[in-house]
């Protein structure tokens, strides 16, 4: 069992409509007992309702595994970083603190770190992850690079993230506007202002209170 080498997971934040279907679908998976391994973040809630789905990015050199003193987190040959192995995890929270994307969660009841494993039971059998199978806007997309580039010609996948002096490459790809961006500067994006599409009611109100310049035709 392994994931087909040409398939991967794409996140297209601009298409997320915040419906939470992915969160619900993930929480219904029997392997993690009612907990969702995906969550939504608001990009800048003060200025925009835009949300972005957050899953494990499946780093090529996973910091979570590097800081685990119990060697409980394994990365399979097909590039998927598995959730912590229960017999090994000592619930020290190192991975929770170290992950640059804020992904692992500690299940205090089970004393076990849990995180997205890209629905390995499904994807290694040729099926889509649950979240990608329910996302109505395809903000979460499972397929090949060729498929997504054909479907979305104005964007392109990127999988290099800059955190200070460190560059992290991931199996999961983030869709960015087509152009010169090849490296996503995570710190700079935290400090940038969200592009908001402000909706005002000025036009509606002015039309309501201004006299209609075209009088109704008179019946003769
Ligand atoms: S995103 Fe976080 S949890 Fe996922 S592999 Fe990278 S360091 Fe580990
Ligand atoms: S299902 Fe898709 S659109 Fe809905 S919240 Fe999740 S990522 Fe966003």
Structural domains in the chain plus CATH codes? 8-191 (3.30.70.20)
Determine what percent of the chain falls in helix, strand and coil, rounding each to the nearest 5: 25, 25, 55
The answer to whether the CB of 19 is under 6 A from ligand 2 is yes
| Euclidean distance between CA atoms 80 and 74, whole angstroms | 8
The answer to whether the CB of 41 is under 6 A from ligand 2 is no
pLDDT in tens, 99-140: 999 999 999 999 999 999 999 999 999 999 999 999 999 999
Greater model confidence, 204 or 151: 151
CA 24 to ligand 2 centroid distance, Å: 10
Given this model, what pLDDT does residue 182 score?
82
CA 169 to ligand 1 centroid distance, Å: 11
Q: Which residue has a Cα nearest atom 3 of ligand 2? A: 16
CA 18 to ligand 2 centroid distance, Å: 5
From 135, 172, 174, 175, mutation site for ligand 2 pocket: most ligand atoms within 8 A of C-beta: 135
Residue 105 φ then ψ, to 5°: -125, 140
CA 93 to ligand 1 centroid distance, Å: 13
Band of residue 214 on the pLDDT scale cut at 50, 70, 90: low
Mean pLDDT throughout 135-161?
Answer: 96
Given this model, what pLDDT does residue 59 score?
98
pLDDT at 198 over 90: no
Greater model confidence, 4 or 190: 4
The answer to whether the CB of 120 is under 6 A from ligand 1 is no
Greater model confidence, 216 or 178: 178
Given this model, what pLDDT does residue 58 score?
98
pLDDT at 190 over 90: no
| Euclidean distance between CA atoms 151 and 71, whole angstroms | 40
Given this model, what pLDDT does residue 220 score?
46
Closest-lying ligand 2 atom to the alpha carbon of residue 21 = 1
Given this model, what pLDDT does residue 212 score?
53
Given this model, what pLDDT does residue 202 score?
58
Closest-lying ligand 2 atom to the alpha carbon of residue 15 = 3
Beta strands in 27-165 (DSSP E): 39-42, 51-54, 105-107, 112-114, 140-144, 155-163
Lowest mean pLDDT across 12-16, 44-48, 61-65: 44-48
Q: Report pTM.
A: 0.85
CA 98 to ligand 1 centroid distance, Å: 9
Mean pLDDT throughout 43-47?
Answer: 86
**Percent residues over pLDDT 90 in the chain:** 74
Given this model, what pLDDT does residue 195 score?
58
Band of residue 93 on the pLDDT scale cut at 50, 70, 90: very high
The answer to whether the CB of 52 is under 6 A from ligand 2 is no
The answer to whether the CB of 119 is under 6 A from ligand 1 is no
Greater model confidence, 202 or 122: 122
Mean pLDDT (the chain) is 89
Q: Which residue has a Cα nearest atom 4 of ligand 2? A: 19
Greater model confidence, 112 or 191: 112
Q: Which residues, including other chains, have CB under 8 Å from residue 215's CB and lie 6 or more apart?
A: none
Given this model, what pLDDT does residue 162 score?
95
Supply 74's token pair: 């394994």
């Amino acid at each position: 069992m392994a994931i087909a080498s040409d398939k991967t997971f794409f996140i297209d934040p601009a298409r997320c409509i915040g419906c939470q279907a992915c969160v619900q679908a993930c929480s219904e998976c029997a392997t993690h007992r009612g907990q969702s391994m995906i969550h939504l973040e608001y990009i800048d809630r003060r200025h925009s309702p835009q949300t972005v789905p957050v899953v494990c990015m499946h780093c090529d050199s996973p910091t979570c595994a590097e800081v685990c003193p119990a060697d409980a987190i394994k990365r399979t040959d097909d590039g998927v970083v598995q959730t912590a192995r229960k017999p090994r995890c000592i619930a020290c929270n190192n991975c929770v603190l170290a992950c640059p994307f804020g992904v692992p969660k500690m299940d205090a009841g089970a004393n076990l770190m849990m995180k997205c494993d890209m629905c390995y039971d499904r994807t290694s059998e040729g099926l889509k992850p649950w979240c990608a199978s329910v996302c109505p806007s395809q903000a979460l997309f499972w397929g090949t690079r060729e498929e997504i580039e054909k479907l979305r010609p104005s964007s392109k996948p990127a999988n290099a993230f800059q955190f200070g002096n460190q560059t992290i490459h991931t199996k999961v790809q983030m869709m960015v506007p087509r152009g010169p961006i090849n490296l996503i500067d995570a710190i700079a994006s935290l400090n940038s202002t969200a592009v908001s599409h402000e909706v005002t009611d000025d036009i509606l109100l002015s039309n309501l209170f201004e006299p209609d310049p075209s009088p109704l035709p008179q019946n003769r």
